[in-house]
Structure 1
């Protein structure tokens, strides 16, 4: 029995010892190759000296699993790393738990293969020069507990898909260029959060209101929660007839306790005298009426005549801007709808609607308003309007008549001394800005080439219609004012509002879209609209926002950046990386780039008219139908809506190289 037991122990030891030796001497071969590839492709300081003949687990900044079979941690803070992170390097460290590359000079986008790091717990990329949108690959690291991408050049919206990171305890996004609304981020264990010093607007979600005001400071127009409350879109209530004093009832309640006996007696005597005088007046009026009864044709009394004159005077004063009281007040607080509309609500219905801030722009704040019966509209609350009520109404009447499938219809307006509101149709597919620079669902949904072409052509048709058929200068072309239908047909909004703000202040324009001459003249024209549309085309082609700071040289705008890249014969570097996955579109991209660069010519007279822009886009590969996207249904000699353009010679696309 003892012999058998000894033999069993011997077998067990002999089986365990080899496996123990394997654990000690194992090497993360694949991870080691990925790290060497990363270091060889990324410029760095000399203090990182990884010996290829040594085990990767002994390298500076590298930590391995207990059995040395895989890399668990990679910490290279302040190591002088420069440039983009090469793909198929760090993204191949599938067992990584901690990654810290903070305080370097890494730039570009976060590689998409970072989505392979599904076991990552902590990601520290702060204080670098990363750009582009919120990295969609990060939202698939569902085990993350700490995410810090602060102090970079990230832009676009913060996606709702951050909520996929259900284990998150710390989220740090400060000192970037994130814009748009702040989504409702609500991982259950989130105890540290910061989005300060970005370009966010709208209201702070309730799920984030527990964090201090410093976590939201330095943004454009954030409000609510720990910050000052958001302003409602609806008109301010009429002032109390008692001014700043409390109503008499409240005063009496407070003072009754202090009335003396003499005061009570005085009040009683005064009431008795008043009652006596009232009775005396009643008897006198009754006696006079009896005397007048026998007359067959009584003449108008003075009181009746006075009432008639007062009625006439009231009718005259009702046309003034500052009417107060009575029926004039009721007339003033009224929504004015245009003919052919589909809505039947009134101002009271709008006041009761639930409102959500969509964004704060250069001309005012936009709200999504859901009425009690379920109707959804967009209400724009204008600011800094300087024209009179009559001028405002005339401009609204002109804009309200505009009906075109590529122009968002103005349905109603409201004017009072303190509030100016515009009511538009709600476009549930959102804006081009949100689709191009934001994310949907779990990660980024790219905007493909065919849909970009569809948006470019339909937006051009809408702007051409405004210019040719309605003689209206849009004055505020930008991607957030290009709204989309589910089929990606576009419609332009916020058109024709510049006359409401006068010329004493600079036009309400986003700097990145503003034509050079507008800076000096403060006046928008058809040609400045063409420039802004050219910038919009460049935005579609490059995927970059015009006011994005990460275009290289500080202060450089999008057209100048594109010109500088093309001048160096790096044309392919201009286009959005999301377009690189599509084949056989290079020629079309270059053609649209040529059109865009013609539109953003410095000299206004060298820019084409919008009908010419429409024709140039339609003529791109006209022989291909692509569901009719590139096939014009109109006479080629006319604009997209059949209107003959002004007698202006077509300006052909210029060569890109200066």
Structure 2
């Protein structure tokens, strides 16, 4: 009996563990099969990491599950090259789907009739495809619809009056189709904030008053007449007709010579006017771009219309294949137009360009670097991006995607919310500052050393980072240093003037030759180590506005044997770290020697720094504890290096 009780308890425990762990990792199998069938038929040109063996909720690109991972609630596949008609009984089987974005593909055929099964659908984006036929008559089956964008397709027929029964609808975009008939009354939809019916030339009747409360761009290019404006039906007055006839008679009576001169003059005027229009368009386009990815506050302010944006049109005209190039394994699902739509915040202006935080419409945040002074052609640029994007290491910020066109070169990375090491070290040194403790500084040093060493192994041991500085090092999920902005010196113009933002990090030989090497990377890394130890910027000013170069200042202090004066006062609060700080200072000093061939290699630096850290973990007091004020003041006495 006791044995039976034991096995019963064991069975119940096993069942509980299965439910907790097995159930948590289970896939929504029916939804998974439906999407795999959809993928097989639609044949996307961009490779997706969807397969039978991988987990849908954790890995599949563009797919989002609910909290318990029992159902798929969002599918976002913009610009992946989907072809043909959406197969029936595939997407429609995702009965819990709330978000569907299949825009900017090559989807054809009519609006899928079985989408009526998607009762929870709230966001529908099918714009920029080649869909045709009539719109669904009864939109009220999707009672949760909040945003609908069907623009830039070939839909015809009337706009369904059932849209007026969607009491949660906030955005409706039907621009650039072939819709006809009357515009239904949507004044009862009080939640409506954005409407675009532009460029549907077969719509008729007067512009309804409810539509007039929106921007005029919402109804541009519509074949309807504003109320009371009937002038186009009135014949020209007789006097104008007579004047026109007289002008015609006079023109026909001119001599051939005068006629020829008029034609030549008119041609010159037309050519001059055309040149002027082109010049204005060029200037306006550059002004629209400004200093942002397209602009600093909104990457595309004029994207209020549903039609194709000027940026998108230009990029397509330059090269039909000009799309974001994603690297294998990337889970992001957006395209160039998403970046142009995204709100942007300038994170910093660096040596090679400006970096932005871009927040996409699905609330995903990415870091986008807009490069400047790129000298490499498209082929060389793409080859270098493939090298950079091929580096997968926990201490190297992974390049997710890139974009190349004649006018724009972009690089897309993960966004690190904790900010750079530069901001953590030098930002907010006031009362509310949270000091960067010694443990974290050691993690930054070890992690960034490992990352740079990994970079130096790439391309047969020839890859150079070329721009190592604290603003290009971030904290990963383990709070370890993670290196970004690598390998760009190979594609930049060698004639670009020296950048003051890189001053203080450049090795002496780089200042002279403007050519970076792996040993010049070591020098720059040594400056970062000095920043971590001193808390000072590579170039800073004193209270008397004297400009101080960090490397020279550290050398001068060490020569005077006042080594403790070097260290950041925030570090003097911690006990039992003096020996480690001195060892790290010695390592940093070996990196910033003038003779490049006397500097250690990065692989050796990893070993040296890890040895300092390992001795710490094996010491009697592994955790550094803040000192009292008296202990901190005693620690500021001079000691030898």
TM-score range (shorter-chain normalised) is: 0.3 to 0.5
- TM-score, normalising length: structure 2: 0.47
Q: Which has the larger radius of gyration?
A: 1
